[in-house]
Amino acid sequence: MKNQQNTSHHNWFDSLVDEYLDAQRREHRPKTLQAWQGALHHLRRFLSAQGRERLQDITTADLEAWRVELSQRNFAPATLEILGRSARQFFTWLEGQQRLFLNPARDFIVPRPERPARSVLTRGQIEKFLSQPDVNTVHGLRDRALLEILYATGMLARELRGLLCQDVNPESAQVRGARGRKTPLTPEAGRWLERYMESARPKLLQHPSPALWLSRDGSPLIESAMRQAFRRHSLAAGLGIITPDAIRRACAVHRWQNGAHPLELQLLLGHKSPQILGQYLRLGVRELFARPQNQEAQP
């Protein structure tokens, strides 16, 4: 009888999880979805052991008990945060889908682990990085335009790679990112984008494709190739390995130091909550105080 109950819980809970993950596939990477799936399956096993057979039977106390059990099993703080946030986002989604009347995760507290402070690339380092591609070649011109747009917009790597030709407009100096968000381009980024679209992309194009960024064989640029380009150019600049996230941080911090309003940064980076911007503002303040007094901020 107990095995039948466990199987019943397994079926209805996993069915909801599968539906939730399917709804997230457009906006999140497979690795992220895989992590969420593992966290929710872990929660399902815990709730099943507690005898929770219906969605409406799950309480905040159950989630707190689950968190205590996880901490007793010596999970790393970062892992605990991922597990807890996965559960909270899942129940919030269920509430939004009107599957729940009372959301048990609404008052579920997910402790944030202390994170080591991350450094921010200076403007000089960014300029050195951006200048690495050989713009006398079609691939170098593509890379220069790609890097310039990332620094100008602070896009997520998946947004940048997934851009279509219809998403960019060099004349109006705008790029349309995820959820239709329009982001202005800097004059420099606009110039390099225009050069790429006029001189390089037509040479890379071997068959009709709406993708903005093309690889050597004319197919859309894949994630591994884009990250290899980042690695190659950052090592050539003597800066170690620079990731798209590092450029995103530099974009936000440099704009804030140049007087951008926090709400402007929120719209630029696509954050739903202005609270997430705190990490960028703290990085900007730290960099300002770390700069030698005789060194003026570059425009």
209 has pLDDT over 80: yes
Residue type present at position 98: Q
Per the prediction, the chain carries an average pLDDT of 81
CA distances in angstroms from 34 to 40, 44, 233, listed in the order given? 10, 15, 31
Q: How many residues does this entry show for the chain?
A: 299
Q: What's the whole-number mean pLDDT along residues 80-101?
A: 89
Is pLDDT above 90 for 119? no
Q: Beta-strand (E) ranges in the chain? A: 168-169, 174-176, 182-184
**pLDDT above 90 as % of the chain:** 37
Span(s) in the chain for CATH 1.10.150.130: 2-96
What is the mean pLDDT of the segment spanning 152-180? 82
pLDDT grade, residue 294 (50/70/90)? very low
Highest mean pLDDT out of 118-132, 161-175, 273-287: 118-132
- Strand partners of residue 176: 182
CA-to-CA distance for 253 and 283, rounded, in angstroms? Answer: 7
**Residues paired with residue 169 on neighbouring β-strands, in sequence order:** 174
Q: Please tell me the predicted confidence (pLDDT) of residue 295.
A: 38
In this prediction, residue 296 carries a pLDDT of: 36
Structure tokens at 237: 């600049």
**pLDDT above 80 (res 269):** no
Return d(Cα 4, Cα 291) in angstroms, integer. Answer: 65
Buried b / exposed e over 190-227, threshold 16 CB at 10 Å, is bebbbbbbeebbeebeeeebebbbbeeeeebbeeeebe
What is the average pLDDT across 176-183?
70
pLDDT number for residue 74: 79
pLDDT digits (tens, 9 = 90+) for 212-232: 999 989 999 998 899 899 999
Contact 133, 195 (CB under 8 A): no
The answer to whether residue 72 scores a pLDDT higher than 90 is no
Rounded CA-CA distance 22/165 in Å is: 27
Q: What angle do CA 269, 17, 66 make, to 5 degrees?
A: 90
What is the distance between the alpha carbons of residues 152 and 171, in angstroms, rounded to a whole number?
Answer: 16
| Residues 50-75, mean pLDDT to the nearest whole number | 88
Higher local confidence (pLDDT), 187 or 279: 187
Residue 169 confidence (pLDDT): 79
Domain 123-290: give its CATH superfamily: Intergrase catalytic core (1.10.443.10)
| Architecture category of domain 2-96 in CATH | Orthogonal Bundle (1.10)
DSSP-assigned letter for residue 197: I
The pLDDT score that the predictor gives to residue 130 is 95
Question: Does 293 score more than 80 pLDDT?
Answer: no
Q: Which of 206, 225, 207, 210 is nearest to 142 (CA)?
A: 225
Question: What are the start and end residues of each CATH 1.10.443.10 domain in the chain?
Answer: 123-290
Position 258 pLDDT exceeds 80: no
Decide if pLDDT at 187 tops 70. yes
Cβ contact 27:74 at 8 Å: no
